[in-house]
Chain A
Amino acid sequence: MKIFTIRLFVVALILIVFPFSCKDITGTEALYPYVPTSVDANAGTWLPIVLTSNSQIVVPAPTAPNSAAYLAELASLKDIQSKLTSDQKKTIEYWSVGGVLRWNQIFRKLVAQYNLPPVPNPDGSYPTPDAENPFSNPQFPFSNPPYAARAYSYVSVAIYDALKAAWYYKDFYKATRPDSPYEVDNGVQALMPKIDLPPYPSEDATMSGAAAEMLKVLFPASVEEITKLAADQRNAALWSGRATSSDITAGLNLGKSVAGFITAAGTGRFRTDGMGAAIGTPAQWKVFENDAITKGEIPWISLDVPARPPMLPFFGNVKAWNLSPAQIVSERPLPPPSTSSDQMKQELAEVKRYASGVTREQMAIVHRWADGAGTYTPPGHWNDIAEEYIRDAKFSEVRAARAFALLNMALHDAGVACWNTKYFYFNPRPTQLDPSIKTSTGIPNFPAYVSGHSTFSASASTVLSYLFPQGATSFSSMADEASNSRLYGAIHYRSDCKEGLSLGKRVGGYTVNYAMTDGAN
């Protein structure tokens, strides 16, 4: 008996220890601290995007290095550094990889968190997320791909414009406050990478203000989490010896003012870009349907059960960053094959072939790029891809912000151009024409032509190829794969994918044209 029991325990112990001794997920932290290749000291001269000039927001002059106020700040800083807790050190470590990269991860997380469609009511209708009541059911927002594309672009642009303004004032006040605290007083330690730039105003505080104020408007129900992260970033700048409290106050005010300018009621770009009208009314949706019927086409219908209102049908009229409304129209692809044409029959047959059997590798491609409900969306995926290139290039904060701003402006513009096309043609999904077509990913709740994934991906690939030419081949093949994934998944025709890629490439070109003249080269 005793021997049996002992043997049993030995067996159990082996089972516990042996196979699962290393079960932790490794490699989740893609970022690490680095010293930028260049500090981009002249970024205060780069063109602003939303601001009228980099000096538009006034930043008051700092106190002199030998003033009592500044000396008191240094003394306080040394006192804080002498008592750092392990939690505070973790906060420093978290932010030391670069604030721009971190905020990009944070807003990808928020998008994934809020990217869930409303649950149908018992009577088959759907509630609409309400910005005035974000904590209720349904939660606000539903950060679907167009919402997300626009959100990524605003946060990225706000951070970028705020940082250029910060760089402007760093240069402007460099005679008064040329050195970082750890350079002024050797009793202050540098616990984050040393950046050879004047500390006033603090770039970390600037971006904390810009990012947090934009995110609070976009994801109001997460105000507590956003506010805490922004405070952490400022604390990390202080605790690490990179900035004193006056550097931080000046940066915070600057960043908040930039976001405030963008979101100002009645006048801010964010309030006047047409997003408020993007949902429209059932009467307006009916017009799309009637137009398609008039043209002799089968109009799109929602394949959700119960049928769901179309996703942001007037997003195609939202203001783009680098295309005028006329250019959005002139870049619109030619019509898809008629729903009654032979070409459409052939394309439908091709979709059906994929529906009745994809290889395991094709299914992996479908799922790799699905980026559907509950994820950071295709624009988020391309931010994920950009992250490692920005990190490897060791970009300064302001240049990293530029890369994300350019990428996300192009993704937003791709969203606008794509949605404009989708609702103009109001073309049905393959499964609508042939209900026997089953799909290996969810069917998005909007018309087929052209593919959103293809448009987003080609625009991102175009901009990233400009920023990182060494990755061009890889970006382009990823865009092709993302595009094909929709055909393999049996939710798009080949025309949707092909024309989407072409549209995305053209749209991305507008942002590249802007980038060539923005003063950062």
Chain B
Amino acid sequence: MTRYLLAVSISIVSLYSASAQTITDHLMMPKKDFCTGFMYTYDQWKNYWEGSLKRDNQNIGTLTTTQIMWVGNYGLTDKINLIAMAPYVTTKASGGTLVGLDGIQDLTLAVKYQFLGKEIGTGKLSAFGVGSFSTPLTNYTPDFLPLSIGLQSTTVSGRVTAAYRMNQGWFVSASGSYMWRSNVSLDRPSYYTDGNIYFTNQVWMPNQFTSTYSIGYHKNALQTEINLTQQNTLGGGDIRKQDMPFVSNRMNFLKVGVLGMYYLPKPKNFAVRAQISYTVDGLNVGQSFSVMGGILYTFHFAKKENQ
């Protein structure tokens, strides 16, 4: 059962959404196993898309976001997993005069449910539904982009994932999620976005659709994959020429990532995980390159009963 350790980790650190591998992947923790650990991500960009125009800005220089995230995944049953994550985020701009920020960002809680597992040919087709909820843990400002540590929106999302894994280890998977995002409050009484002025501190946040595709190999202690993630924000305005980004901007991106995970023979129950990802295309986001590394430990609470 040790290979199920692979089920927990974060693979994609988009600039402001912490989506976790465990939420998008096709693996489940067995009953009464609890896998937990920390992931460190170093993400930076120099170029960004101002609307669809790719440019740099010497008053920002290179924007670096680092993140230390706690993750936990508990197998309530073999078919139902409970997942939680919470990151500490730090931002810094190498150019200009704007101050970097840091703090605890959002808590994500998710329930993952495997509703299909069927042998087909020489492999297995499985399908999953995930319901996630995220909410800010602290009152950080969302109105100081690109240096804000998050967007301060409470979200609820529904996801469906399907995967086919051949018995020798090769797999493909596809996953799609729809995220509802709550309004955000600013500290100011008025703002301009998307061609209109608003005389309120409330900002309507467009929802998002994100799809992830991966192809890889997963057998015994090793998991590797290449993945593609496309985030589409369903509304929102573009960053205007020479303006700052705004919380409800239409932030879209296409990222490619390479992931590797390995369960260590010793010490027991430990696993390491690494991922790099690169933003190939986008709108109103930075062209980020990020590197992630982490370590995980699994507790087998059911061990005694089983033996």
Query: What is the CB-to-nearest-CB distance from A311 to chain B, in angstroms, rounded to a whole number?
Result: 14
Q: Are the CB atoms of B190 and A30 closer together than 8 Å? A: no
Cα–Cα distance between A30 and B195 once the two chains are bound (Å): 19
Cα–Cα distance between A28 and B200 once the two chains are bound (Å): 6
Q: Select the residue from B99, B157, B195, B200 with max chain A CB neighbours within 10 A.
A: B99
Query: What is the CB-to-nearest-CB distance from B5 to chain A, in angstroms, rounded to a whole number?
Result: 26
Cα–Cα distance between A1 and B125 once the two chains are bound (Å): 13
Q: Which of B221-280 contact A (CB under 8 A)?
A: 240-244
Q: Are the CB atoms of B113 and A8 closer together than 8 Å? A: yes
The listed residue (A11, A16, A360) touching B139 by CB distance below 8 A is A360
The listed residue (B99, B131, B196) touching A440 by CB distance below 8 A is B99
Q: Does A105 contact B (CB under 8 A)?
A: yes
Q: Does B168 contact A (CB under 8 A)?
A: no
Query: What is the CB-to-nearest-CB distance from A348 to chain B, in angstroms, rounded to a whole number?
Result: 15
Cα–Cα distance between A303 and B98 once the two chains are bound (Å): 11
Q: Are the CB atoms of B199 and A15 closer together than 8 Å? A: no
Q: Mark A128-157, 1 if CB is under 8 A from B, else 0.
A: 000000000111000000000000000000
User: In the complex where A8-B129, A15-B131, A375-B191 touch, is A438 in contact with B113 (Cβ < 8 A)?
Assistant: no
Q: Which of B176-212 contact A (CB under 8 A)?
A: 180, 182-183, 186-192, 195-200, 202-204
Cα–Cα distance between A364 and B144 once the two chains are bound (Å): 11
Q: Does A25 contact B (CB under 8 A)?
A: yes
Query: What is the CB-to-nearest-CB distance from A443 to chain B, in angstroms, rounded to a whole number?
Result: 6
The number of residue pairs between A and B whose CB atoms lie closer than 8 Å in the complex comes to 140
> Contact residue range for chain B?
35 or more
Q: Are the CB atoms of B182 and A19 closer together than 8 Å? A: yes
User: In the complex where A23-B183, A116-B243 touch, is A368 in contact with B188 (Cβ < 8 A)?
Assistant: yes
User: Which of A106-114, A207-215, A254-262, A314-322 makes up part of the contact surface?
Assistant: A106-114
Q: Are the CB atoms of A367 and B141 closer together than 8 Å? A: yes
Query: What is the CB-to-nearest-CB distance from B197 to chain A, in angstroms, rounded to a whole number?
Result: 4
Q: Does B169 contact A (CB under 8 A)?
A: no
The listed residue (B98, B199, B242, B244) touching A105 by CB distance below 8 A is B199
Q: Are the CB atoms of A5 and B115 closer together than 8 Å? A: yes
Q: Are the CB atoms of A20 and B202 closer together than 8 Å? A: no
The listed residue (B99, B115, B180, B204) touching A439 by CB distance below 8 A is B99
User: In the complex where A30-B199, A105-B197 touch, is A16 in contact with B192 (Cβ < 8 A)?
Assistant: no
Q: Does A123 contact B (CB under 8 A)?
A: no
Cα–Cα distance between A364 and B100 once the two chains are bound (Å): 16
The listed residue (A23, A138, A439) touching B182 by CB distance below 8 A is A23
Q: Which of A7-33 contact B (CB under 8 A)?
A: 7-8, 11-12, 15-16, 18-20, 23-28, 30
Q: Are the CB atoms of A109 and B192 closer together than 8 Å? A: yes
Cα–Cα distance between A437 and B183 once the two chains are bound (Å): 33
Q: Which of A337-374 contact B (CB under 8 A)?
A: 355, 360, 363-365, 367-371, 373-374
Q: Does B172 contact A (CB under 8 A)?
A: no
Q: Mark A54-68, 1 if CB is under 8 A from B, else 0.
A: 000000000000000
Q: Are the CB atoms of A431 and B192 closer together than 8 Å? A: no
Contacts of B76 in A (CB 8 A): none
Residues of B within 8 A of A (CB): 58-59, 95-100, 113, 115-116, 129, 131, 139, 141, 143-144, 154, 156-158, 160, 180, 182-183, 186-192, 195-200, 202-204, 240-244
Residues of A within 8 A of B (CB): 1, 4-5, 7-8, 11-12, 15-16, 18-20, 23-28, 30, 105, 108-109, 112-113, 116-119, 137-139, 303-306, 355, 360, 363-365, 367-371, 373-376, 381, 384, 431, 437-440, 442-443, 490
